[in-house]
Structure 1
C-alpha cells in the first residue's frame, strides 16, 4: 500500500518553491510519492488570469522531470466543476484502493479550512499535512490534532510566487531562479501578453 500526498493547486505557473516544498515534504514525512494535482479552477479564487489547463499541466510535467517521487496528475481536470477537494479525495480513494491519501495544504488554506466544502469530513477521513505560507498563523489548535491526523512540516519559506512571476514577465523582467531552468522560455512565452 502506497502513501500518496495530494498537493493541489493552480500552478499558474509552477515555480521553484513548489518543487522545493514537495521535496522537503517527502523528506520529512512517510509519503512514498506526491501527486501534484493541477487544478482546473479553485472555487475560492478568481480565474481571470489562469493559463490554459493543458499548458499549466505541460509546464509542471517538464519542470518535474528528474523528480521520480513527484508525479504530475491531470486527474482533477476530468472531474465535474467546480472542483472540491472532498470529491477529489473520495474519487481517488475509490479508483486507487491500494493507496492511502493525505492532503497537503499551505497554512493560509488551513486558516480558511472551515470554509472548505465538507471540511469536517476531510479532517475525519484523511491525514492532512500543513506547510508554512506567508501571512498564515499555521498554529493548529489542540482540538485540530484531536479531530484529525494533522502533521505540520516546518519547511523553509521561499520568497517566490506565481503572481510575482506573472508580474515580472509583464514588466519584461527576468524570472531566472524563480522557475526551473527547463521551463523558463516556455513560461515567458505563455505568460507574455
Structure 2
C-alpha cells in the first residue's frame, strides 16, 4: 500500500515553494508520493484572478512531470461544489480501497484552523497529517500539539506566495526564478496574470 500525501491548493500558479515542500515531503518523510490536489474554482465565489481549472492543472502537470514521486490530481474537479476535504478523502478511499492510504499535507498556519474544518475529528481518526513550518501568527490548539496523527516535518520555510507572484508579474517584474521553467513558459505563452 502506498502512503499518499495530499497537498491541496489552487496553485495559481504553482511555484518553486510548492515544489520544494512537496519534494521534501516525498523524500524525507514516510510518504511514498505527493499528489497536488488542484482545488477547483468555486462557482459560489468566482475570483477574477483565479485561472480556469484546466490551466492550473496543466501548470501543475508541467511542473511535476520530471518528479516521479509528485503527481497532479484533478480529483476535486468532478466532486459537487462547494466541496469539503472530508468528501475528497471519502471519495479517494472508495476509489483506491486497497492500493493507497491518504494523508494530508498542510502548513502550520492551516493547522491553527483545523478545529473549524467540517468533520475534522473524523479526518484525524482516519488520516495522518504532515505539517510543514510556516511563518505565521497565532497559536496551535493544544489538542493538536502532541496528537499522534500529526507529524511535523522539518521542511524548508518557503515564503513565496502565488499572490505575490501574480501581483509582481502584473507590475512587469521578473518573477522567472520563482517558477519552474515549464510553468514560466506556459504562463508567458498564455499571457496569464498580466
Q: How does 1:85-164 map to 2 (within 5 A)?
A: 85-98=85-98, 99-136=100-137, 141=142, 143-144=143-144, 148-164=148-164
Q: Match of 2:68, SS?
A: coil
Offset at 1:159?
2.8
**Which ranges in structure 1 are unaligned for 5 or more consecutive residues?**
none
Tell me which moved more, 86-95 or 132-141: 132-141
After superposition, the Cα gap between the structure-2 partners of 1:162 and 1:107, relative to the gap in structure 1 and judged at 3 Å, is same
Identify which range, 182-191 or 19-28, moves more after superposition.
Answer: 182-191
Whether 1:71 aligns to 2:75 is no
| CA displacement at 1:120 relative to structure 2 | 1.4
Mind listing any 5+ residue stretches in structure 2 that lack a counterpart? none
**How far did residue 21 of structure 1 move?**
0.4
Which whole-Å CA distance do the structure 2 matches of 1:72 and 1:103 have between them?
15
The structure-2 alpha-carbon separation of the partners of 1:138 and 1:23, relative to structure 1 and needing over 3 Å to count, comes to farther
Mapped partners of 1:103, 1:162: distance in 2: 21
Please state how far the C-alpha of 1:146 moved relative to its aligned partner: 6.0
CA separation in 2, counterparts of 1:166 and 1:121? 36
Q: 1:16 matched to which residue of 2?
A: 16
Whether the 8 Å contact between 2:41 and 2:53 is mirrored in structure 1 is no
CA 1:46 to 1:157, structure 2 compared with 1: closer, same or farther past 3 Å?
farther
CA RMSD between the two structures: 2.2
Q: TM-score, normalised by structure 1?
A: 0.91
Q: Which residue of 1 aligns with 2:81?
A: 81
SS across alignment from 2:176: coil
Moved over 6 A (4+): none
Specify the alignment match of 2:26 in structure 1: 26
Aligned-partner SS, 1:17: helix
Aligned residues: 192
Q: 1:140 to 1:23 in 2, by over 3 A?
A: farther
